[in-house]
């Protein structure tokens, strides 16, 4: 008989532990927006939104969130970290309208002895008093065992003594943090198995940190060992190296732990990640799994070719699950297949020779370290198709453009017209103006008139990311006829010169 997966509570602590990222501070309205998204779109089970007592701003944020949560039926999913401080945190919680406290207590003898400078019995008595008061005031109590991981390593008897005490208390959840992110997966498995087996009646959350880049792996082991809930943050934000990242942990659980399930909507993970990136100013590395800019982009031509033939480079980690799309990078490692995949996404088909030319152009740009994006492709194609139809009787062979302080820009130009070579030098108000003046001299010598330039427009392909290309579109008037030519290059003046060469071949 297949066993139905057990439900894991996901507690997101972006707004409390995540905000402990150095340099990050959310405004109350940003906190409210993120809290709403987490509970209504991402559908995490609980959110921790602040530490009590911290500041006026924090109080305002908690008040705004609890007001909304109460009206929306989410109040019992909104948690605040509190301290063993008599009635201070409890009062703060009550005034802020919060209902669930996550009481921070000491999970290692080392912390208890050296930070609080107290004996276990004294600590337990103070905790019992806070819990009693909180319960009397109608608050629900969860308890953190801060530094539990080191407690298990170095003072296990203290941890058992403490949990023996806690199981006598009206506590809903016991939260086991690897506060310094020092555990390796095998230890997480061993410690949580032992703890869960010893106290089967208690609910245990596991709270991982990422100091050794093991946050997600440790979450996986914690769940295998029987943890009932996990704490995660968007984009892995958090103090030092951060917490276990929500998106990675959910993807790993969904793909590798059929024995558990969560209520989290994968499809919302990318958009919430981007929103938090914007609000926090904390940039996501491009290679951050699931949410990073590059993680669904194939760069190598061979990979694009394999995907086209039989999705050979796909894995279960499909971008569409997270509201994203696979991309094929354009650059010097692109092959024809990369380009074809991009063209297919744009709905464009090209003949084999044109496809080769486009590929060649992209490789050349890539070699110059230029970044080409999908948005550049239509520009490159129209440039190449334009050139296909124009017979090259005029060719700009060489030029030197100068631009300096206090001297006028100047140009030395060598041009071949129907096989005849001309060389001219001229100055102008700008580099392109100097170029046109030199050109006029050549055509004057040939007793030929040049079209009049009536409009000159420069644009950068949309998309905002490309530093590769600039398109110049010039409108000409000649024999009472108006026509446009286009030039495309990474340099603006060169793109204008290319547009001009096209004009010279049309007259």
Ligand X SMILES: CC(=O)SCCNC(=O)CCNC(=O)[C@H](O)C(C)(C)COP(=O)(O)OP(=O)(O)OC[C@H]1O[C@@H](n2cnc3c(N)ncnc32)[C@H](O)[C@@H]1OP(=O)(O)O
**Residue closer to ligand X (CB basis): 51 or 235:** 51
Instruction: Tell the smallest beta-carbon distance from residue 153 to ligand X (Å).
Output: 17
Instruction: Tell the smallest beta-carbon distance from residue 105 to ligand X (Å).
Output: 6
* Region near ligand X per CB under 6 A, out of 41-49, 50-58, 246-254, 337-345: 50-58
Among 90, 104, 196, 244, binds ligand X (CB under 6 A): 104
**Residue closer to ligand X (CB basis): 238 or 366:** 238
Inter-CA distances, 78 with 101, 133, 140, 346, 402, Å: 9, 19, 11, 44, 65
Among 33, 57, 68, 83, binds ligand X (CB under 6 A): 83
Angle at 490 between CA 484 and CA 494, to 5 degrees: 55
Instruction: Tell the smallest beta-carbon distance from residue 54 to ligand X (Å).
Output: 4
**Residue closer to ligand X (CB basis): 52 or 339:** 52
**Residue closer to ligand X (CB basis): 82 or 410:** 82
Q: How many residues bind ligand X (CB under 6 A)?
A: 15
The answer to the question of residue 105 lying near ligand X (CB under 6 A) is: yes
- 162, 167, 173, 174: CA torsion to nearest 10: 20
**Residue closer to ligand X (CB basis): 123 or 361:** 123
Whole-angstrom Cα distance, residue 412 to residue 47?
68
Instruction: Tell the smallest beta-carbon distance from residue 74 to ligand X (Å).
Output: 23
Among 81, 131, 145, 304, binds ligand X (CB under 6 A): 81
* Region near ligand X per CB under 6 A, out of 47-55, 64-72, 255-263, 375-383: 47-55
Asked whether the beta carbons of 274 and 49 are under 8 A apart, the reply is no
* Region near ligand X per CB under 6 A, out of 72-80, 83-91, 299-307, 418-426: 83-91
For residue 297, list its beta bridge partners.
Answer: 327
The answer to the question of residue 54 lying near ligand X (CB under 6 A) is: yes
The answer to the question of residue 155 lying near ligand X (CB under 6 A) is: no
The answer to the question of residue 166 lying near ligand X (CB under 6 A) is: no
**Residue closer to ligand X (CB basis): 41 or 85:** 85
* Region near ligand X per CB under 6 A, out of 81-89, 326-334, 438-446, 490-498: 81-89
Inter-CA distances, 64 with 50, 51, 78, 495, Å: 12, 15, 12, 54
- 150, 155, 159, 162: CA torsion to nearest 10: -130
Q: Decide the pairing of beta strands 481-489 and 470-478.
A: antiparallel
The answer to the question of residue 183 lying near ligand X (CB under 6 A) is: no
Instruction: Tell the smallest beta-carbon distance from residue 17 to ligand X (Å).
Output: 6
Inter-CA distances, 435 with 396, 426, 440, 478, 488, Å: 11, 7, 9, 19, 17
Instruction: Tell the smallest beta-carbon distance from residue 133 to ligand X (Å).
Output: 14
Query: Which 288-307 residues touch ligand X, going by CB under 6 A?
Result: none
The answer to the question of residue 388 lying near ligand X (CB under 6 A) is: no
- Active site positions, annotated: 16, 146
Whole-angstrom Cα distance, residue 400 to residue 421?
16
The answer to the question of residue 51 lying near ligand X (CB under 6 A) is: yes
Query: Which 114-143 residues touch ligand X, going by CB under 6 A?
Result: 115-116
**What 8-state DSSP symbol labels residue 449?**
P
Among 9, 146, 305, 376, binds ligand X (CB under 6 A): 146
Instruction: Tell the smallest beta-carbon distance from residue 122 to ligand X (Å).
Output: 12
**Residue closer to ligand X (CB basis): 146 or 489:** 146
Whole-angstrom Cα distance, residue 88 to residue 59?
13
Among 28, 33, 53, 120, binds ligand X (CB under 6 A): 53
- Nearest Cα neighbor of 150 from 211, 82, 83, 203 is 211
Angle at 299 between CA 296 and CA 302, to 5 degrees: 115
The helix (H) or strand (E) run that includes residue 60 is helix 56-72
**Residue closer to ligand X (CB basis): 51 or 495:** 51
**Residue closer to ligand X (CB basis): 180 or 317:** 180
Query: Which 305-344 residues touch ligand X, going by CB under 6 A?
Result: none
For residue 417, list its beta bridge partners.
Answer: 394, 420
The answer to the question of residue 354 lying near ligand X (CB under 6 A) is: no
Inter-CA distances, 297 with 28, 186, 209, Å: 36, 33, 28
The answer to the question of residue 84 lying near ligand X (CB under 6 A) is: yes
Instruction: Tell the smallest beta-carbon distance from residue 53 to ligand X (Å).
Output: 4
Please, where are the H alpha helices in 184-335?
Answer: 185-198, 215-224, 246-256, 269-280, 301-310
Inter-CA distances, 267 with 231, 291, 322, 323, Å: 20, 11, 4, 5
Instruction: Tell the smallest beta-carbon distance from residue 217 to ligand X (Å).
Output: 21
Whole-angstrom Cα distance, residue 47 to residue 10?
8
- Nearest Cα neighbor of 342 from 312, 298, 287 is 298
Burial class (CB in 10 A: 0-12, 13-18, 19+), 367: exposed
Query: Which 449-478 residues touch ligand X, going by CB under 6 A?
Result: none
**Residue closer to ligand X (CB basis): 219 or 343:** 219
The residue count of the chain comes to 507
Instruction: Tell the smallest beta-carbon distance from residue 79 to ligand X (Å).
Output: 13
Binding site for ligand X (CB under 6 A): 17, 51, 53-54, 81, 83-85, 104-105, 115-116, 146, 177, 179
């Amino acid at each position: 008989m297949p066993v139905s997966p057990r439900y894991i509570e996901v507690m997101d602590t972006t707004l409390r532990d995540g905000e402990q990222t150095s340099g990050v501070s959310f405004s109350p309205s940003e906190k409210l927006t993120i809290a709403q998204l987490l509970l209504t779109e991402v559908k995490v089970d609980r959110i921790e939104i602040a530490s009590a007592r911290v500041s006026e701003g924090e109080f305002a944020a908690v008040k705004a969130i609890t007001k909304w949560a109460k009206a929306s039926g989410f109040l019992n999913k909104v948690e605040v970290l509190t301290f063993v401080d008599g009635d201070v945190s409890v009062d703060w919680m009550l005034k802020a309208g919060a209902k669930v406290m996550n009481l921070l207590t000491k999970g290692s003898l080392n912390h208890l002895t050296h930070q609080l400078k107290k004996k276990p019995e004294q600590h337990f008595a103070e905790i019992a008093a806070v819990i009693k008061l909180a319960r009397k005031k109608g608050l629900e109590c969860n308890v953190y065992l801060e530094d539990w991981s080191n407690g298990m390593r170095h003072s296990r008897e203290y941890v058992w003594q403490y949990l023996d005490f806690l199981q006598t208390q009206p506590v809903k959840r016991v939260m086991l943090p690897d506060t310094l992110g020092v555990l390796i997966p095998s230890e997480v498995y061993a410690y949580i198995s032992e703890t869960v087996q010893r106290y089967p009646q208690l609910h245990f959350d596991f709270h991982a940190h990422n100091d050794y880049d093991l946050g997600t792996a440790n979450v996986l082991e914690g769940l295998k060992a029987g943890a009932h809930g996990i704490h995660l943050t968007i984009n892995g934000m958090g103090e030092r190296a951060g917490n276990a990242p929500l998106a990675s942990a959910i993807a790993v659980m969904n793909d590798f732990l059929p024995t558990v399930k969560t209520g989290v909507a994968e499809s919302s993970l990318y958009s919430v990640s981007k929103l938090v990136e914007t609000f926090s100013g904390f940039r996501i590395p491009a290679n951050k799994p699931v949410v990073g800019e590059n993680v669904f982009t194939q760069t190598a031509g061979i990979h694009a070719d394999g995907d086209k033939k039989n999705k050979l480079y796909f894995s279960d980690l499909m971008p569409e699950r997270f509201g994203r799309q696979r991309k094929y990078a354009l650059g010097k490692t692109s092959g024809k297949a990369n380009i074809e995949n991009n063209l297919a996404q744009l709905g464009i088909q090209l003949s084999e020779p044109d496809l080769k030319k486009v590929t060649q152009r992209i490789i050349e740009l890539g070699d110059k370290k230029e970044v080409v994006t999908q948005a550049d492709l239509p520009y490159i194609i129209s440039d190449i198709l334009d050139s296909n139809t124009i017979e090259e009787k005029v060719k700009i062979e060489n030029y030197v453009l100068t631009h300096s302080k206090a001297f006028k820009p100047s140009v030395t130009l060598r041009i071949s017209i129907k096989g005849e070579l001309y060389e001219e030098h001229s100055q102008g108000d700008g580099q392109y103006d100097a170029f046109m003046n030199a050109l006029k001299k050549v055509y004057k010598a040939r007793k030929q008139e040049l079209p009049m330039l009536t409009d000159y427009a420069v644009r950068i392909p949309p998309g905002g990311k490309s530093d590769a290309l600039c398109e110049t579109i010039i409108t000409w008037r000649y024999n009472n006829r108006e026509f446009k030519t286009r030039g495309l290059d990474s340099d603006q003046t060169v793109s204008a010169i290319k547009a001009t060469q096209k004009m010279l071949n049309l007259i």
